[in-house]
């Protein structure tokens, strides 16, 4: 079965462990994981919610036929997106990781260099200062 990833706020971790994920659920694959993390952090930063929120990455193992829709990278602005319209039970959650490291340092090297058609073009610094650790 394929492995997918969902990014969420850490404040939802207890509920996710107990109840799973509720639809519609946006997932990405391993190739899109870093781009999704970058975009999620930028969204939190731009809305002023980064300082009071921590981020988790939920790793799920689901059958491919649970994916109801797929959106390409060109339509999502970030990475390939997989939409699941079924609840994902806790038994399908394989791991949960918390974002660690220098988030503000990461963001200081990141700039939004333009918007086109509702999509952000992101220019990142070369130094990776964040990573995920198992919780």
Does residue 133 or residue 110 have the better pLDDT?
133
Q: How far is Cα 65 from Cα 78, in angstroms, rounded to an integer?
A: 23
E-strand stretches of 1-135? 3-9, 25-27, 55-61, 67-71, 81-84, 93-101, 111-116, 119-123, 130-134
Domains and CATH numbers, the chain: 3-134 (3.20.170)
Q: Is the pTM of this model over 0.85?
A: no
Query: CA 134, CA 56: separation in Å to the nearest integer?
Result: 9
1 pLDDT higher than 60: yes
The whole-angstrom separation of Cα 67 and Cα 51 is: 33
| pLDDT score of 87 | 96
CB 109 within 8 A of CB 101: no
pLDDT, tens digit (0-9, with 9 covering 90-100), for 41-92: 777 777 777 766 688 899 999 999 999 888 776 555 667 889 999 999 999 9
Residue 6: alpha-carbon gap to chain centroid:
5
pLDDT at 109 over 60: no
User: What's phi and psi for 49, nearest 5 deg?
Assistant: -100, 0
**How many Å apart are CA 100 and CA 81, to the nearest integer?**
24
| Cα–Cα distance for residue pair 8/19, rounded to 1 Å | 14
Q: What is the pLDDT of residue 20?
A: 97
Task: Tell me what the mean pLDDT of segment 20-37 comes to.
Answer: 88
Pull the structure tokens for residue 118. Answer: 């509702």
């Amino acid at each position: 079965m394929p492995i997918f990833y969902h990014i969420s706020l850490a404040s939802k971790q207890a509920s996710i462990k107990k109840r799973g994920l509720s639809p519609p659920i946006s997932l990405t694959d391993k190739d899109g994981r870093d781009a999704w993390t970058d975009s999620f952090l930028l969204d939190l930063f731009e809305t002023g919610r980064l300082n009071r929120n921590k981020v988790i990455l939920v790793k799920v193992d689901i059958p491919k036929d649970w994916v109801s829709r797929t959106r390409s990278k060109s339509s999502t602005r970030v990475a390939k997106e997989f939409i699941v319209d079924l609840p994902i039970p806790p038994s399908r959650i394989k791991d949960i990781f918390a974002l660690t490291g220098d988030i503000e340092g990461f963001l200081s090297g990141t700039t939004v260099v333009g918007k086109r058609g509702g999509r952000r073009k992101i220019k990142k610094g070369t130094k990776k200062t964040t990573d995920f650790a198992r919780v």
